A and B are shown apart, each in its own frame.
Chain A
């Protein structure tokens, strides 16, 4: 158990819909990262938050957005869903120190039909 909690574990929805994925980082970790894992794209970095502020942005679509709340949990919002958005979405957190270690949750598997 990494200490990172993601909900829901599985989600099935239809094209055009909107979903929210939630992540609770490890206690004390200020950084939260979102990654998308798909068969054709591999593990892609989406976005990072540090203590409530956006710190780095990767290959995140404009239809996607995220935020980190004062209690440090984070949400990833996916809207106008397309079939190609079906993937495993991972949240990871890291300590404030330069450990270089990301602690990953078990992921949220999104299926868009």
Chain B
């Protein structure tokens, strides 16, 4: 069975500082990996995704993530955070059988930005 672990429940960083959110996955085959962001009172929005190829993927809002198969990790990074990045971030792993794009989500990391 597929699973995702986000070890950090809550992270606080200063505006302008760099950010790294951790994600570890368990999946029997080549994983498809995703990062979603949920702003307060909103649904989830896709930040980026990894299917294959280059292990460093770029997403929206200046985020990037690196797939490391040897470590079963897919950490999310941003070089300089903005106050508007405060939100909850979810890592997800999935199978993409046609018509069956079920995703398994981690428990999320809440990001707080301080001035």
A56 within 8 A of B: yes
Bound Cα distance from A55 to B94, whole angstroms: 15
- Check if A2 sits within 8 Å of B49, measured CB to CB: no
Q: Which residues of B contact A92 (CB under 8 A)?
A: 43-44
Q: Which residues of A contact B42 (CB under 8 A)?
A: 106
Q: Which residues of A contact B34 (CB under 8 A)?
A: 100-101
Bound Cα distance from A50 to B24, whole angstroms: 29
Q: Which residues of B contact A51 (CB under 8 A)?
A: 99
User: What range describes how many residues of A lie at the interface?
Assistant: 20 to 34
Bound Cα distance from A84 to B94, whole angstroms: 27
User: What range describes how many residues of B lie at the interface?
Assistant: 20 to 34
Residues on A lying within 8 angstroms of B by beta carbon are: 2, 4, 30-31, 33, 35, 42-43, 45, 48, 50-51, 55-56, 58, 90, 92, 94, 96, 98-102, 104-107
Bound Cα distance from A94 to B34, whole angstroms: 14
Known: A43-B108, A98-B96. A104 touches B102 (CB 8 A): no
Bound Cα distance from A90 to B103, whole angstroms: 13
- Check if A94 sits within 8 Å of B101, measured CB to CB: yes
Bound Cα distance from A45 to B98, whole angstroms: 17
Q: Which residues of A contact B44 (CB under 8 A)?
A: 43, 90, 92, 102, 104
CB-CB nearest 7 A-B residue pairs: A104-B43, A50-B99, A43-B105, A42-B107, A104-B44, A98-B96, A106-B43
Partner of A31 from B43, B90, B99, B104 at Cβ < 8 Å: B99
A-B contact pairs, 17 of them (CB 8 A): A2-B43, A2-B45, A31-B101, A35-B105, A42-B106, A42-B107, A42-B108, A43-B107, A45-B105, A50-B100, A55-B100, A58-B102, A92-B43, A98-B98, A100-B96, A104-B44, A105-B43
